[in-house]
């Protein structure tokens, strides 16, 4: 019954976070009344005995779990203190504690950090203009801060006073892409900002205290691994700091499905707990042999060893800074050890249910984490595989093969649902990597760290051995990555994933009287697998001549995707923020893969500015491109291994499925560009009925001659505003010539340029032209059809925006803040 209670509890908590608006207190009353009424009707109805038994044994605990889950998550969400909207976008003075290890981007020659990024737990916040002064003792809110040109690096556990400027928790939102705002929410981060270099000077108010031990360990590991080519990997495995893992190493792990090995997960804590169990078991045997202590003799070995496993797992969690993912992994492992500790028969499904209940009870937003679902699914698959009679009779090495095969196949639907692709080399790569990390790599690293406190000579030898062994593994992963890529499967519906797992676990659990599984259940599972991966009944289909345009939300940058029946065209690739993140990785590639688009027939990069061309390298690395053009092809080619781009010129045109893509500028008949922005490729897309015009960062200086030369060709139904809404673009003459039905701005949330500017917005409002802004609406999508005017007044159809498609009560909307309210648009 407990398992069904946990099922209802977890499902209710998850459903609560999917609500578009926060429910009122009356919702609990209505939910209670509805569930109790439904239960009473079925409970007292005249039902056959088997049905009544199922009702009592299954439905009743699920209903109780639903009620308890709703009360718990409602209370947790209601009581969690939120920062007031009035403190954002203005200087505030804060006092708080640095939590987790700060990430240092670059150290200058003078020893200063160009940027330090860290989580800051607020103890007091003061904002003078609104006379806001708040102190917290419990439920302290957390913000994410960046300190540029920092003279010193704050350490975990230190208390500081800063003057900062905050933005509310808000992030780009795109179809098929990672929801970073939800990620921040489930981590408890309420806002992000930066330390001001004027005003109140940063002051350290207290030292790190006991947290200084972790800082000293982190510094020691930095020195220990400094000369190793696997420095970032080693630090991630020991203390959970993944900031130094290089972009190429991340790419190899992603393509081989081994990225989970770089997070301190249940696997790692289970390894450490196992080592602790074995170590304390040896200590117990030594104590029995050499001591006469009565309590030692009366303590069973398994109890003593279990406490050792829990102790080692807890120390490992402390090394990782008690992060929320590590807490989840610790609870899962400790739950298993508790069954051993109290000497009860281990019940896999009860242990799994207990772990899930404790994790969600401790931190309800955990259900929003991908790691939560992947971890529990993986453990459930392992339990299911080990229950098979075939596996139980197999020798140990074959059991490992069966488990890895089960994980590779069993996790494919969940991974496909999150990332829209499956790493084809995952089985082979994990077959090598998991035993290596579990049995050799991680234990040897811990031994190296321990020895490093005793002997420099021995440490040097052990580090050499570590590098050699990991070089062998990395060579194998690189080989697999180069030969086996991804199977792109497109966007999976939630019901497809649930159906497959339901069929899988039901098939594994149903047996006949003689204990053999029903043969036909394998066929049912195969049909379920086919439905999940091959059937996309809700995927919109484009007819010949129709096309879809998606203006992606890439912050203060631009990236558009045009889709026809048979072709895909990308215009611009967004900005580049670091070696690990750019517009292509953030939005373009996830969206294309969610639509099962693996080839680009045409790539147009307006010009070489980073906010338009920052994702070019990542896009070319992961996507086949038939033809590429740019207004500054030579500049872009210089940054690539081989020349890919050709100059875009007036007269170039391409036709795909009845949709024409043509370049209007640059042209010999127009003035030569004097800056990067005016070198932009101006793209016109039309199907003969509807038209989209994309001018890149074109300024008014080039808009005027274009209007004079091509006035009749500029008319468009949809205009993507030039230069993100800058006052130097989208002039009155340009608007008059284009005469758009709608305008879209691609800009960043509360950007420092204040795009779109009031000047441009007033022009639109004066002409009654509706507009939308990716900063507030997320990715914005339109469909241009061939509908006649008799049926539809226009061929331009607004499909949706990402925030409209995925409303969440905890999301921060532009309308809630005076600074961004006027930037929201429709």
pLDDT digits (tens, 9 = 90+) for 364-384: 998 998 888 888 888 888 888
Q: What is the pLDDT of residue 746?
A: 95
Instruction: Measure the CA–CA gap between 151 and 135, rounded to whole angstroms.
Output: 28
Q: Name which CATH class applies to 547-823.
A: alpha beta
pLDDT for residue 46 is more than 70: no
Q: Is the dihedral of CA 429, 434, 440, 446 positive or negative?
A: positive
Exposure on the CB side of residue 816, measured as CA atoms within 13 A: 17
For residue 511, pLDDT over 70 is answered with: no
Give the H/E segment covering residue 613: helix 610-613
Lowest average pLDDT, out of 26-40, 164-178, 271-285, 592-606, goes to 26-40
Measure CA 419 to chain center: 10
pLDDT > 80? residue 505: no
What fold, for 85-207?
Answer: OB fold (Dihydrolipoamide Acetyltransferase, E2P) (2.40.50)
User: Minimal CA–CA distance to 177: which of 805, 683, 791, 756?
Assistant: 805
pLDDT at residue 76 in the model: 87
Each residue of 596-639: pLDDT tens digit?
A: 888 999 999 999 999 999 999 999 988 999 999 999 999 999 98
- The residue length of the chain stands at 826
Phi, psi angle pair for 194, to nearest 5°: -145, 155
Predicted pLDDT at 551: 97
- 3-class DSSP state of 370: helix
Quick check: bond before 396 cis, omega within 30?
no
Cis peptide before 647 (omega within 30 of 0): no
Question: Could you tell me if 568 and 763 are in contact, meaning their C-beta atoms sit under 8 angstroms apart?
Answer: no
Q: Is pLDDT of 79 > 80?
A: yes
CA distances from 741 to 33, 90, 220, 601, 715 (A): 49, 36, 62, 28, 10
d(CA 543, CA 595): 16
The mean pLDDT of 562-584, rounded to a whole number, is 92
- Predicted confidence band at 513 (pLDDT cuts at 50, 70, 90)? very low
CA 771, CA 823: separation in Å to the nearest integer?
10
Indicate whether 235 pLDDT > 90: no
- Residue 343: φ, ψ to 5°: 55, 45
Is the confidence at residue 649, as pLDDT, over 90? yes
- Rounded Cα–Cα distance for residues 210 and 221 (Å): 18
Q: Residues of 728-756 as b/e, b for ≥16 C-beta within 10 angstroms?
A: bbbbeebbebbebbbbbbbbbbbbeeebb
Torsion of CA 43, 46, 48, 54, to 10 degrees: -10
Mean pLDDT of 12-20: 91
Q: Work out the average pLDDT over 388-405.
A: 78
pLDDT average, residue stretch 463-480: 92
Give the chain's end-to-end CA distance (angstroms, integer).
49
Q: What is the pLDDT of residue 179?
A: 92
Q: Token digits for 182? A: 């939800």
What stretches of 114-211 show up as alpha helix (H) in DSSP?
180-187
**Are the beta carbons of 761 and 822 closer than 8 angstroms?**
yes
Per DSSP, helices labelled H in 436-576 are: 442-452, 456-483, 494-509, 520-534
Q: Are 585 and 618 in contact (CB under 8 A)?
A: yes
Q: What is the mean pLDDT of the chain?
A: 83
Nearest to 207 by CA among 160, 164, 162, 143: 160
**pLDDT above 60: residue 484:** yes
Q: Return the percentage of the chain with pLDDT > 70, whole number.
A: 87
Question: What average pLDDT does this structure show over 233-262?
Answer: 80
- Look at the block and give the residue holding tokens 């006949």: 512
**Cα distances (Å, whole numbers) of residue 807 to 17, 272, 492, 749, 777:** 10, 41, 19, 17, 10
Instruction: At 395, give phi and psi (nearest 5°).
Output: -65, 170
3-class secondary structure, 312? helix
Q: Quote the tokens at residue 443.
A: 């234990």
Residue 208 is predicted with a pLDDT of 77
- Asked whether residue 358 carries a pLDDT value surpassing 80, the answer given is yes
Q: Which two tokens stand for residue 420?
A: 């829209």
| pTM for the predicted model, two decimal places | 0.88
Q: What is the 8-class DSSP label of residue 403?
A: H
Q: Tell me the C-alpha distance between 69 and 16, whole Å.
A: 9
Per-domain residue ranges for the chain?
Answer: 2-79, 85-207, 219-488, 494-534, 547-823
Give the span between the Cα atoms of 589 and 622, in whole angstroms: 8
Q: Are 595 and 567 in contact (CB under 8 A)?
A: no
Task: Give the separation between CA 453 and CA 615, rounded to whole angstroms.
Answer: 44
């Amino acid at each position: 019954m407990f398992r069904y209670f946990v099922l209802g509890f977890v499902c209710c908590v998850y459903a609560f976070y999917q609500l578009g608006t926060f429910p009122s207190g009356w919702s609990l009353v209505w939910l209670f009344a509805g569930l109790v009424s439904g239960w009473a009707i079925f409970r007292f109805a005249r039902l056959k005995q088997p049905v009544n038994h199922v009702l009592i044994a299954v439905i009743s605990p699920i209903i109780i779990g639903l009620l308890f889950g709703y009360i718990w998550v409602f209370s947790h969400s209601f009581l969690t203190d939120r920062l007031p909207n009035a403190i954002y976008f203005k200087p505030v003075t804060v006092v708080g504690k640095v939590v987790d290890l700060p990430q240092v981007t670059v150290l200058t020659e003078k020893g200063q950090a160009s940027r330090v990024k860290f989580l800051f737990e607020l103890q007091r916040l003061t904002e003078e203009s609104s006379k806001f002064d708040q102190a917290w003792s419990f439920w302290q809110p957390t913000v994410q801060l960046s300190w540029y040109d920092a003279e010193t690096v704050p350490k975990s556990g230190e208390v500081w006073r800063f003057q900062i400027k905050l933005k509310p928790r808000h992030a780009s939102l795109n179809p098929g892409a990672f929801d970073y705002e939800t990620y921040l929410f489930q981590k408890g981060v309420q806002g992000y900002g930066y330390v001001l270099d004027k005003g109140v000077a940063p002051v350290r108010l207290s030292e790190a205290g006991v947290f200084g031990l972790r800082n000293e360990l982190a510094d020691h590991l930095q020195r220990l691994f400094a000369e190793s080519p696997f420095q970032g990997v080693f630090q991630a495995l020991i203390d959970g700091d993944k900031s130094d893992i290089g972009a190429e190493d991340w790419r190899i792990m992603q393509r081989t499905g081994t990225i989970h090995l770089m997070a301190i997960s249940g696997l790692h804590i289970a390894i450490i707990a196992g080592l602790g169990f074995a170590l304390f078991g040896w200590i117990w045997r030594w104590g029995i042999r050499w001591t006469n202590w009565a309590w030692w003799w009366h303590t069973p070995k398994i109890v003593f060893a279990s406490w050792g496993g829990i102790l080692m797992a807890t120390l490992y969690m402390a090394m990782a800074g008690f992060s929320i993912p590590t807490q989840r992994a610790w609870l899962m492992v400790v739950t298993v050890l508790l069954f051993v500790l109290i000497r009860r028969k281990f019940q896999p499904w009860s242990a799994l249910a207990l772990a899930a209940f404790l994790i969600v009870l401790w931190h309800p937003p955990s259900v929003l984490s991908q790691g939560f679902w992947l971890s529990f699914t993986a453990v459930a698959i392992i339990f299911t595989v080990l229950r098979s009679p075939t596996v139980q009779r197999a020798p140990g090495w074959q059991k490992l093969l069966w488990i890895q095969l089960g994980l590779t196949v069993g996790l494919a639907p969940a991974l496909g649902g999150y990332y829209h692709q499956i790493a084809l080399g995952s089985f082979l790569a994990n077959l090598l990597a998991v035993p290596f990390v579990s049995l050799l790599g991680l234990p040897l690293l811990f031994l190296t760290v321990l020895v490093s406190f005793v002997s420099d000579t021995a440490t040097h030898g052990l580090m050499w051995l570590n590098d050699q062994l990991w070089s062998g593994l990395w060579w194998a992963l690189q080989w697999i990555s180069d030969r086996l890529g991804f199977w792109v499967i497109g966007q999976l519906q939630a019901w497809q994933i649930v159906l497959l797992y339901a069929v899988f676990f039901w098939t594994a659990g149903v047996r006949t009287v003689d204990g053999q599984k029903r043969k036909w259940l394998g066929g049912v599972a195969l049909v379920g697998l086919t439905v999940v991966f091959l059937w996309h009944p809700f995927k919109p289909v484009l007819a010949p001549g129709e096309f879809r345009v998606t203006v992606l939300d890439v912050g203060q940058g631009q990236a558009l995707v045009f889709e026809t029946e048979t072709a895909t065209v990308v215009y611009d690739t967004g900005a580049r923020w670091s070696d690990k993140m750019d517009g292509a990785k953030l939005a373009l590639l996830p969206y294309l893969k969610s639509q099962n688009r693996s080839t680009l027939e045409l790539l147009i990069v307006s010009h070489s500015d980073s906010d338009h061309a920052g994702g070019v390298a990542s896009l070319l690395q992961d996507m086949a491109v038939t033809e590429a053009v740019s207004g500054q092809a030579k500049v872009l080619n210089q940054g690539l291994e081989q020349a890919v781009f050709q100059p875009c010129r007036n007269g170039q045109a391409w036709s795909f499925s009845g949709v024409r893509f043509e370049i209007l500028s640059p042209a010999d008949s127009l003035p030569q560009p004097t800056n990067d922005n005016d070198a932009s490729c101006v793209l016109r897309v039309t199907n003969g009925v509807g038209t989209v015009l994309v001018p890149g960062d074109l300024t008014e200086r080039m808009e005027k001659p274009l209007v004079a030369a091509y006035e009749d060709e500029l008319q468009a139904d949809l205009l993507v505003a030039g230069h993100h809404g800058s006052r130097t673009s989208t002039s009155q003459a340009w608007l008059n010539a284009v005469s758009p039905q709608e305008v879209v701005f691609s800009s960043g949330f509360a950007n420092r340029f204040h795009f779109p500017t009031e000047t441009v917005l007033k022009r639109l409002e004066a002409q009654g032209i509706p507009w939308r802004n990716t900063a507030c609406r997320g990715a914005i999508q339109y469909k241009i059809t061939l509908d006649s005017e008799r049926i539809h007044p226009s061929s331009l159809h607004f499909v949706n925006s990402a925030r409209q498609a995925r409303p969440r009560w905890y999301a921060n909307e532009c309308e809630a803040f005076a600074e961004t309210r006027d930037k929201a648009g429709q």
